[in-house]
Amino acid sequence: MVTLFGKRIRLFRPRTIWIRRIVQWFFFLLIASIAINHTLVENDMGIPLLGSASLHAVCPFGGVETLYTFATGGLLVKKIHDSSLVLAAIVLLLSILFGPVFCGWVCPLGTVQEWTGKLGRKLFKRRYNHFVPVKIDNILRYMRYGILVWVLYVTAKSGMLVFEAYDPYFALFNFWSTDVAWSALAILGITLTLSVFVERPWCKYACPYGAVLGVTNLFRVFSIKRAESTCKADGACSIMCPMNIEVDTKTVVRDHQCISCLECTSEAICPVAKTVVFTSGGVK
Amino acid sequence: MTLTAKPLALIILVFLLGGIAFSSAMGWWQTESTKIPVTFSEGEFAGQANPVDIRGSYTFGDIANSFNVTPEILAQAFGITETEPASFAIKELETIYLDSGFEIGTASVRLFVAYYTGLPFDTTGQEIYMPRSATDILLAKGNLTAEQIAYLEKYTVDIGLNTESVIVSTSVPVQTSSEISEEYIVKGKTTFGELITWGVSQAVIEALINAPLPDSATTVKDYASANGLDFETLKPALQAEVDKARP
Ligand code: SF4
């Protein structure tokens, strides 16, 4: 840590939150092994100690999809189990406290999009993640709420997991199975292709669960806050933000798209110590 | 309070993994269907299993555990000739009836169970197809309302054991028409349950044996000899009723 022109600047700082990558890898491998083992169990070849849960059983969005049928008749939508409701409750609590950390740290589909995004970053350098004109981008970002309403409506009406046929997350971990609809595989393919140009396109524009969790950004307990007094206004935080949030123009990030990845903070890209922080209190 | 990445990572892991461990300890962590349908929460049938919650992963045996219908009756209704009908998973019905052009699957089983057991089932706006064999059993039970009979008449399809397309797509052995008619012949090992499913009403049987209907698994011959009746006299009388019910 050195002081330059009256500002404390860290000389050797990590450019990324490496522990987030480890947590992402952990959950990716966990979900992948559960999905693979489910297929093995169905073929009488399950790996001992690994549960035989289906992918739906370990997806918290199932808990949201089934809320209507559960509240009105005590029934769970077909293929959804109690574990989805448990996970939905845990993730909601986490989000109220820390924002959509599920999206930024846990969701394997987000992780895979980040991995493909690395290729885009290499190819397009600074142009990466800035291809979509801002006006169109701003409108498209509300599309996920429309998708959420549609999913909840069709699920409530049919009592079936209609979204499964379009769900790239289900396709990602079941592409080898005949249970996956071509539409879901196509959406997964489009998502991965687009993520070479745009960071996390599914999360930004289409994810109905991201839409639910995104709302917690408006009132979460811990938020990203920027101390104006020490900020160098170099814009590094905004450039680094995968969700294109202009952190350098805000004192508190309340954007509905923040995924609490902490990549904008002084622990990662921001060169000035204690300037962009993740806190429940205030900053100067 | 300010959080950095490491404590946040720890909190996420503790919340998720700890939450799962806690819910397991409380018995809330169910990743598989319990194979027990939810029950009606109110009204005349409160506390009884609700056929609407029967799922594709259930076997005939699972259904028998929650409803008053045997795996054998279900197998007969849906043309399944497996040696152990209790282990037949109802999601397989859709594959079996795929070539028939009609969607006969979990919804058909739900409807069958509801009508067979007299439990409420809302068919509004639904087109639930039923194989003829299932409808025959339901009609023979004689507990349907006029509305339910009309619904069945509308959605019963003449496919089943004697439908080639179905037989070809399953492991069900092909039966010739003579073999099928053989099935409806009263023999020593014929049970009262079979007579009911062949369309002979409970009242007719009770009139012929002059006693309340015995257990459905009891064979006619055993019953006759245990109760001093002449099986050779009873047999043609019962056969005449079977022939009337299945012209
Ligand atoms: S504002 Fe910061 S924490 Fe939120 S998504 Fe952008 S980089 Fe991540």
What distances in angstroms separate CA A3 from CA A169, A187, A275, B11, one per listed residue?
A: 47, 50, 14, 33
Predicted pLDDT at A55:
84
Contact between A86 and B29 using a beta-carbon 8 Å cutoff: yes
| CATH code at position A274 | 3.30.70
pTM above 0.80, yes or no: no
Which among B8, B29, B41 has the least Cβ separation from residue A98? Answer: B8
A45 and A79 belong to one structural domain: yes
| Residue A143 burial class via C-beta count within 10 angstroms: exposed 0-12, middle 13-18, buried 19 and up | middle
Q: Which of B13, B14, B16, B95 to mutate to test the interface with A (most CBs of A within 10 A)?
A: B16
pLDDT (mean) for B206-232: 81
Task: Give a yes or no: residue A199 inside a domain.
Answer: yes
Structure tokens at B195: 């007579």
pLDDT of residue B173 exceeding 80, the answer is no
Choice between A137 and B233, residue whose per-residue pLDDT is larger:
A137
Confidence of residue B181 (pLDDT cuts 50, 70, 90): very low
SS3 content of chain A, % helix, strand, coil (to 5): 55, 5, 40
> What is the ipTM, given to two decimal places?
0.90
Q: Is the pLDDT of residue A266 over 50?
A: yes
Contact between B5 and A267 using a beta-carbon 8 Å cutoff:
yes
Same domain membership, residue A230 and residue A209: no
In a domain, B29, yes or no: no
- Looking at A196, A216, A236, the residue that finishes a domain is A216
pLDDT at B174: 32
Confidence of residue A8 (pLDDT cuts 50, 70, 90): low
Q: Grade residue A3 by pLDDT with cuts at 50, 70 and 90.
A: low
B187: pLDDT strictly greater than 70: yes
Same-domain check for residues A265 and A142: no
Q: What is residue A97's predicted lDDT score, i.e. its pLDDT?
A: 97
User: How high is the pLDDT of residue A14?
Assistant: 61
DSSP 8-class letter at B139: H
Number of domains observed in the structure of chain B: 2
At residue B220's C-alpha, the angle toward residues B216 and B221, to 5°, is 140
- Count of domains for chain A: 2
- The residue segments making up the domain with residue B186 are 181-247
Tell which of A165, A184, A216 closes a domain: A216
Q: Give the model confidence (pLDDT) of B24-64 as tens digits.
A: 899 888 877 667 787 787 788 888 889 988 888 888 988 98
With respect to residue B104, please indicate whether it lies within any of the assigned structural domains. Answer: yes
Q: Residue B201 falls within a domain, yes or no?
A: yes
Q: Are B162 and B72 part of one and the same domain?
A: yes
pLDDT for res B86? 87
DSSP at B39 = B
One domain for residues A128 and A241: no
- pLDDT tens for B101-150 read 788 999 999 999 999 999 999 998 888 999 988 998 998 888 888 889 88
**Whether residue B146 is found in the same domain as residue B64:** yes
Q: Which of B169, B198, B214 corresponds to the end of one domain?
A: B169
Does B15 contact chain A (CB < 8 Å)?
yes
In this complex, is the C-beta atom of B32 within 8 Å of any C-beta atom belonging to chain A?
yes
Q: How confident is the model at residue B175 (pLDDT cuts 50, 70, 90)?
A: very low
Measure in Å the smallest separation between the Cα of B37 and chain A Cα atoms. 9
Mean of the per-residue pLDDT values for chain A? 89
A49 pLDDT exceeds 60? no
* Same domain assignment for residues A197 and A226: no
Q: State whether A177 and A266 are in the same domain.
A: no
Length of chain B counted residue by residue: 247
Residue B124 sits at the chain A interface (C-beta within 8 Å): no
**pLDDT per residue as tens digits for the range A113-156:** 999 999 999 999 889 999 999 999 999 999 999 999 999 999 98
In this prediction, residue A158 carries a pLDDT of 80
* Residue A87 CA, ligand 1 centroid: distance in Å: 24
> Which residues, including other chains, have CB under 8 Å from residue A112's CB and lie 6 or more apart?
A28, A172, A192
Query: Which of A79-88, A117-126, B136-145, B225-234 reaches the highest mean pLDDT?
Result: A117-126
A95, part of any domain: yes
* A252 in the same domain as A169: no
Is residue A161 domain-resident?
yes
Answer for the pair A39, A176: CB distance below 8 angstroms, yes or no. yes
Domain that holds residue A170: 18-216
Compute chain A's Rg from CA coordinates: 20
Q: Which of A19-28, A171-180, B157-166, B191-200 has the lowest mean pLDDT?
A: B157-166
Residue A160 resides in a domain: yes
In this predicted structure, what is the pLDDT of residue A105? 97
State the pLDDT at residue B182. Answer: 54
Mark whether A212 and A226 lie in a shared domain: no
Distance CA A253, CA A218 (A): 9
pLDDT for the residue A10: 58
pLDDT at A9: 59
The share of chain B scoring above pLDDT 70, in percent, equals 88
Domain identity same for A162 and A230: no
Q: Supply angle C-alpha A210, A216, A222, rounded to 5.
A: 120
Could you give the CA distance from residue B153 to residue A58 in angstroms, rounded to a whole number?
42
Q: Do B2 and A279 touch (CB under 8 A)?
A: yes
Closest-CA residue of A relative to B42 is A73
